[in-house]
Chain A
C-alpha cells in the first residue's frame, strides 16, 4: 500500500482543455464549451450559405410548382360557390323540412329571391349554374333564365303599398338612418340584412351612392315579411301590413320556370351547399351523391372514369414493358461497346430529344394510318390484303407504339448508366468459373442491371401515366388516357373541380405504386448511375 499522504488526491475529471473527455460528460472543445455546440456554431455559416444558394430555386419551386399544385388539389374538394352565391338560401334550406319528398316552403324561396336578385346583379348566378350543371344537367339554363326574370318579379306591389302607407319609406336617407339604429335592426332582421345587401350592391356593383338611389323591391319584400311577424319597433314608421295585398314568391319562381318546384333540383342544391364536397371525387370514380345523400353508382352509360383509369394503367404498363424489351438490348450493347462507338450510338438514342415531340408524334400518324407507309408496305408485300389494312392508329395500339418510341430514351439512359457501372470483369469472372454466356448473363449481369430496369421503369411508367399530347394525337377514342380527360375538363368543360379530383387520384395512384415498388424492389436499388 502506498502512503496516502504522499499520493496526491485524485482530481475529479472535468472541463479539461484541448478536446479532452470529461468522465461521463460530453466531449469539450478547447474553450470548454461542449464540442457538439462548437461544431454546430462552426457549421451554421455553412448551412446559411447553402440555404442562400438554394433559396432562389426554392422560392421559384414554391411559387411556381408547390403552390399551384396545392391550389389545384384544394379545388377537388372546394365548393364554396353555392354558399357564397346563395348564402340565405343555404341557411333556409337547412331548416326546411319538406325535402326530399316535396319542394321547400315559402321561406326558402324568399331567401332565394334575395340571393338570386343580388347574384344576378353581380352576374355570378351563371357561374353557379355552370357549377351545379356538373351535378345535374339543366341547372345552368334554369339559373340563367330566372336570373333574367328575377328583377321583374311582381314584388313591386309591396313597394307601392308601403310607399302609399308611409311616403317616408321611399326616402333612402330615412332608410339609412333607421338602419343605423341597432334596436330597429334587431327587430327587423330580414330587412336589415336585405338593406345591407342592397347598400353593398349599389356601392360595389353599380358604383352609385345608395342615398340617391331608389330602394329595391326585395328590401320591401323583406320588410313585409318582418312586419307580418310582429309590430314595427319604436322609431320606425308603424305600418299595418295585415291589409296588404300579398304575393307568393314560390309562385313567382314557378311562373319563371316550373323546375323550381321540382324537389330533385332542390336536393342537388342542398347536397352541394356545404363549403366542401366529396362530389368531385365521387364523380371521378363514376359515382355520385344520391337523393338520400348516400354515394351510389352513376348510370352505366355515364360511367367513364374507372375505365379510363384502368386503361391508363394497363397501357402505361404495356408501354413500360415494351420499353424494357426494346431498350435493354440497346443499353447492353452500348455499355459493352468501346466508348467511341458507344458515344456515336448514344447520339442516335438522344436524337429524339432534339426533335419536337409533336413532329415525332405526327410522323407516327403518317406511318401508321390505314393509307400510311406501314400498311402500304404490308399490302405491297402481300402480308395483309388491301381490304384488311391494319388499324394501327387512333386506337390503343397507336398510343402504345408512339409512346414506346417517345419514352424509350428514358428507359435506355438509366439502364445504360447502371450497366456502365458493372465492371466487365464480373462477366469474365463468371465465365472463368465455368458459366456459359447465358448463365453468366442471367446469374451475374442481369441481377446487377435490375436497379437500372427499376429506375427506367419508374421513369417511363410515371411519365406515361400522365402523358397527354401523344395519346391526344394518335389515341383516337380508344387510346386516350385519363390525362386527356383532365385536360378536357380544364380547358373545355371548365369543370376544374373534377379535373382536380381526377388529378389528385392520379397523383395518389402514382405515389401508391411508388410505395409498392419501394416495398417490393426497394428504392435503394434504383440507380440512375454512379
Chain B
C-alpha cells in the first residue's frame, strides 16, 4: 500500500491540482492511490483541501490539472451522474419532499430498474441499516442518527463500488457518532466497498480507517495506517495535528542512522530519533507523546539523557494522571501517566527528572 500508483489501484489521483481563483492552489500536486476495498480517511483542518479532493472525485469540481482515475479509467471528463459513486453528505441531503422509501428508490428509478427489483433492493438496504420499518416516514420525522442511516442506505442501495462520505457524522452527538462509526466500518468491510471518508475529527479517522491521509495546505502531509500515523508522524504538522504532543526546539548536535542528539535552545541535550533531519547543525523540532514521557528513570536506558522538570499542575483524570511540567523553559509540557498504585501523585512545585526512549522522541522539521 505504497503511496503512488500501483497496478491494482482502484482510485488514483495523479498530479492533481485545483485552483478556484487562478491565483491560489487549494490542492497542490496530489498523488494518491487506493486499492479496492480500502477505507481511506482524508483528515485535516478546514481549508486544507480535503473536501475539494472529495468533490473532484465525485465530479462536482473539476481538476485544474492532473488526472483522476477510477478503476483504471480517467474520469476527468465524466459527469458526476455517470461515475456511479455513492455519496453521503454531512447534512444528510435526504430529499424532504420524498419518503424514506422514495429517497431510496430515486437512484434505482433513474437507473430504470423494475418495481419489484426496486422494492427488493430498498428493503435490503433498509435492513442493512436496521431502518426497515421507517420506509414510509418523511426524513423530517426522523432523528439525526436515523437520517444519517437512511442517507447511508441511499448511498449504498444502488450498489456502488466506491462510496464517498463528507463528514457524515459531524452533526451528531458523541455517543451516536461512536456507534455509527462502528456500523459504517463494519458495513463497508462486509460489503467490500471502497470508502473515501472526509473528517476533521482525528479520533474518527483513527478508529475507522485502514489508512489516513492527513491534509494540510493542499498537500497530503502523511498517508499511513492509524497506528503509524500516531506513533511515527513524518513531520511536525502531523505530530501536532494527531493526538496530544509535546514539542521542544533545538539544533542537531550529533546524528547517525538510528539516533541523534539534539541540543535544546535552553542548553540541555536529549536523545531523539532522526526523521526529518539529516545533518549536524540543522534546526529541529522534537516531538514526544505525553504518555511516552517517563518519570521513573529506572525504566530508561542507563545512559539515556534526562531533563529536570518542575511540576506546575497535577490533574487527576480517573484512569490517568495529567501532569503539566516546566521543561526546558516551556511550561506546557504534558506528562500522562497511568493511575497505577506505584505511581506518585505529584504536587505543584515538586522537582523531578524526566526522560524517554530515543525512538519515542522524533526529530522533525523545524
Contact = CB atoms under 8 A, between A and B. Distances in A.
Interface of A: 423, 425-426, 428-437, 439-440, 443-444, 447-448
A423 B97 contact: no
A410 to B, nearest CB: 25
B241 interface: no
B19 interface: no
A288 to B, nearest CB: 51
B250 interface: no
Contacts of A432: 58, 80-81, 83, 85-87, 155, 164
A440 B59 CA distance: 15
Contacts of B158: 433-434
A391 to B, nearest CB: 45
A432 B107 CA distance: 9
Nearest to A435: B110
A447 B86 CA distance: 23
B107 A433 contact: yes
A439 B111 CA distance: 12
B168 to A, nearest CB: 12
Contact of A426 (B58, B82, B83, B95): B95
29 contacts: A423-B91, A425-B90, A425-B93, A428-B58, A428-B87, A429-B95, A429-B154, A430-B95, A430-B106, A431-B59, A431-B60, A431-B79, A431-B80, A432-B58, A432-B81, A432-B83, A432-B85, A433-B86, A433-B107, A433-B154, A434-B82, A434-B107, A435-B107, A435-B110, A436-B81, A436-B110, A443-B106, A444-B95, A448-B96
Contacts of B85: 432
User: Which 10 interchain pairs have the tightest Cβ spacing?
Assistant: A433-B107, A432-B87, A429-B93, A425-B93, A431-B80, A425-B89, A431-B81, A434-B110, A435-B110, A447-B97
A426 B97 CA distance: 11
B84 interface: yes
B110 to A, nearest CB: 5
A252 to B, nearest CB: 80
A435 B85 CA distance: 12
Interface string B197-210: 00000000000000
Given A425-B89, A443-B106, A434 B81 contact: yes
A432 B155 CA distance: 8
A184 to B, nearest CB: 85
A439 B59 CA distance: 17
Nearest to A436: B81
Given A425-B91, A428-B60, A428-B89, A434 B96 contact: no
A347 to B, nearest CB: 23
A448 B154 CA distance: 19
A340 to B, nearest CB: 12
Nearest to A448: B97
Nearest to A446: B97
A203 B89 CA distance: 88
Given A425-B93, A426-B93, A448-B96, A433 B58 contact: no
Interface in B75-132: 79-87, 89-91, 93, 95-97, 106-107, 110-111
Contacts of A433: 81, 86-87, 106-107, 110, 154-155, 158
Nearest to A428: B60
Contacts of A435: 81, 106-107, 110
Contacts of B91: 423, 425
Contacts of B155: 432-433
Contacts of B110: 433-436, 439
B111 A434 contact: yes
Contacts of A426: 93, 95
B81 A429 contact: no
Query: What class of interface size applies to chain B in its complex with A?
Result: 20 to 34
A1 B83 CA distance: 75
Contacts of A425: 89-91, 93
Given A426-B93, A433-B107, A434-B84, 17 more contacts: A423-B91, A425-B89, A425-B90, A425-B93, A426-B95, A428-B58, A428-B60, A428-B87, A429-B154, A430-B95, A431-B59, A431-B60, A432-B83, A432-B85, A433-B158, A436-B110, A448-B96
Contacts of A430: 95, 106
Contacts of A431: 59-60, 79-81
A337 to B, nearest CB: 14
- Name, among A429, A432, A439, A448, the residue most crowded by chain B CB atoms within 10 Å (CB to CB): A432
A423 B95 CA distance: 10
- Name, among A426, A433, A437, the residue most crowded by chain B CB atoms within 10 Å (CB to CB): A433
A444 B96 CA distance: 9
A157 to B, nearest CB: 89
A433 B79 CA distance: 12
Contacts of B60: 428, 431
A423 B154 contact: no
B87 A429 contact: yes
A450 to B, nearest CB: 9
Contacts of A437: 81
A432 B80 CA distance: 6
Contacts of A440: 81
A375 to B, nearest CB: 45
A434 B95 CA distance: 15
B182 to A, nearest CB: 24
B89 A429 contact: yes
Contacts of B154: 429, 433
Nearest to B166: A425
A443 B97 CA distance: 10
A436 B59 CA distance: 12
Contacts of A434: 81-82, 84, 107, 110-111, 158
A428 B87 CA distance: 9
Contacts of B82: 434
A437 B89 CA distance: 19
Contacts of A448: 95-97
A425 B89 CA distance: 7
Nearest to B104: A433
- Name, among A435, A439, A447, the residue most crowded by chain B CB atoms within 10 Å (CB to CB): A435
A408 to B, nearest CB: 27
Contacts of B106: 430, 433, 435, 443
Contacts of B79: 431, 436
A444 B110 CA distance: 12
Contacts of B97: 447-448
A218 B324 CA distance: 116
A425 B60 CA distance: 10
Contacts of B93: 423, 425-426, 428-429
Nearest to A338: B20
A528 B79 CA distance: 34
Contacts of A428: 58, 60, 80, 87, 89, 93
A444 B102 CA distance: 12
B4 to A, nearest CB: 28
B290 to A, nearest CB: 39
A323 to B, nearest CB: 24
A430 B97 CA distance: 13
Nearest to B87: A432
A428 B166 CA distance: 12
Interface in B30-84: 58-60, 79-84
